[in-house]
Amino acid sequence: MELKLSVQPVRDADCDLMILPVRLADLKNESDRSAALIEADAMLDGALLAASQDENFGAKAESMLVLHTLGKMKAKRVMLLGAGSRSEDLRMACGKAVKAASKLGAKRLALAVPEFMLERQLRAAAEGALLGAYCFNDYRTGKAAEPRIPASLDLLLPAGTPDPSSREKIVSDAAALADAVNWARKLVDTPAADMTPTDLAEAAASMASENGLNAEILTEEDVRARGLNLDMFLAVARGSHEPLRLIHLSWTPEGDDAKKPPLALVGKAITFDAGGLSLKPSAGMLWMKTDMAGAAAVLGAMKAIARMKPPFPVHAWMGACENMPGGNAYRLGDVLRSHCGKTVEVHDTDAEGRLVLGDMLALASDAKPAAVIDLATLTGAVAVALGLYNTGLFASDDDLCRDLMDASERAGESFWRLPLDERLRPDLDSPVADMKNLGDRYGGSITAALFLREFVTPGIPWAHLDIAGTARSKTARGYLDVGASGAGVRTLVEYVRMLSDRHQTAGAS
């Protein structure tokens, strides 16, 4: 869907659907109404506001009221859209509006940007609309395979908008970010048979080539030849016929900026998780194509970061493999030696993500990064604790935690900090190795985070995002369909934007 920005009155917009974001105050107080709402209502002889009263339209976030204009406007239909009070409300509402427009068969949309929309709200509206245009129908046939996505959306700025051209960068940035999120969603939604470790590595390499990133893809033979000592990663991959891939992407700026300590991103890339010998039940296995959502988020973020060109290096590591119960699968009771030398006794082969991540975190630590952030669909326990709308955040560094919380709020993603409770660390003690890969039943997301922390070099700020509850939406809502959400991409990109501003400010002083 193409986004366009212009300054024109509602009466001149020739489209299939005119979208008017409104708040409750707009309906109650004439003085609060946007010029677009006043103009549209006048052209419809007062029918728009009258209908809002008759239908008890209260402008609640994501609520919609659609009227046919019967030729009184160039727009064929007009929609009142509840904008809510937060940027994320508006983002969700605009996504839902685009999905509704698709069902109406509307191809040309216009959204009248009201005066109350500041730059952040404009960005949210543009992002939400494009996120709502995402449609995964690659495996449908016949008419169901035909996309009904609107072709275009005109964002109409109100008359008198100062320097409207300055809004163009906001819209173009929003479009680039939404494209990155939707690409990550597609990676996750693709069935595991067509998104093997090799497929994921090829997608990463192709994206890197198109966006000016460096890509290094290693096979198992490469890993062994280089003596990387990634025994935990290699062990998890053993049970599958699909070969593993070690994916390393990097952005490096020019000049002295290239010498700055990099930001390291690590994503869990289990392209299908059957549980290994600790086999999952069928119901628990159905959605395990999503177990690489952490890697997809990192890849999506890197796609957007490449366009941003931050003044510091950014590296991404992902160990891509399947966790299958083959004849050569790793066993309970095995002791594995990690990249950093620590040994781990296997108590559950379905706690495989932390093993692969442990090796990737140790590998990332070798680069002496300024900070390490990992994303993973790691534990069902985090969803039990926080539900399906909040990502669990663990951090060894309070400043990094605050920055990520700030970035998540700006990006419209909900994070909740959970404790790295040292009292649970003994749950990981092993009688035969440095530790085991599974703690007690209680506090499972905490012990998983404590396990990961063991592989980050002490002193390096580290954060872990457990997206097990947020990586996939169980229901269609707002800009989301049932399926991949792209959780984490927007926050990572916003965090890099914040760091870039900070570096540039420091460089100018």
Which residues carry out catalysis?
280, 354
| Residues near 433 by beta carbon (within 8 Å), at least 6 away in sequence | 335, 343, 344, 345
272 three-state secondary structure: strand
Q: Give the residue ranges of DSSP H helices in 166-229.
A: 167-189, 197-211, 220-225
Q: What is the spatial distance between Cα 239 and Cα 219, in angstroms, rounded to a whole number?
A: 16
Task: Select from 150, 171, 57 the least CA-distant residue to 106.
Answer: 150
CB 240 within 8 A of CB 320: no
Residue 467: alpha-carbon gap to chain centroid: 10
Task: Select from 176, 365, 346, 356 the least CA-distant residue to 267.
Answer: 356
| Residues near 162 by beta carbon (within 8 Å), at least 6 away in sequence | none
Run of H or E including 120: helix 119-132
Q: Position 456: which residue type?
A: V
Q: Give the residue ranges of DSSP H helices in 278-419.
A: 282-285, 293-308, 353-365, 380-386, 398-411
- Write phi, then psi, for 469 (nearest 5 degrees): -90, -20
Q: What is the spatial distance between Cα 119 and Cα 155, in angstroms, rounded to a whole number?
A: 13
Q: What is the spatial distance between Cα 44 and Cα 48, in angstroms, rounded to a whole number?
A: 7
Residue 463: alpha-carbon gap to chain centroid: 16
The residues facing 110 across adjacent strands are 18, 154
Q: What is the spatial distance between Cα 347 and Cα 76, in angstroms, rounded to a whole number?
A: 63
How many CB atoms lie under 10 A from the CB of residue 132? 29
| Bridging pattern class, strands 343-345 and 335-337 | antiparallel
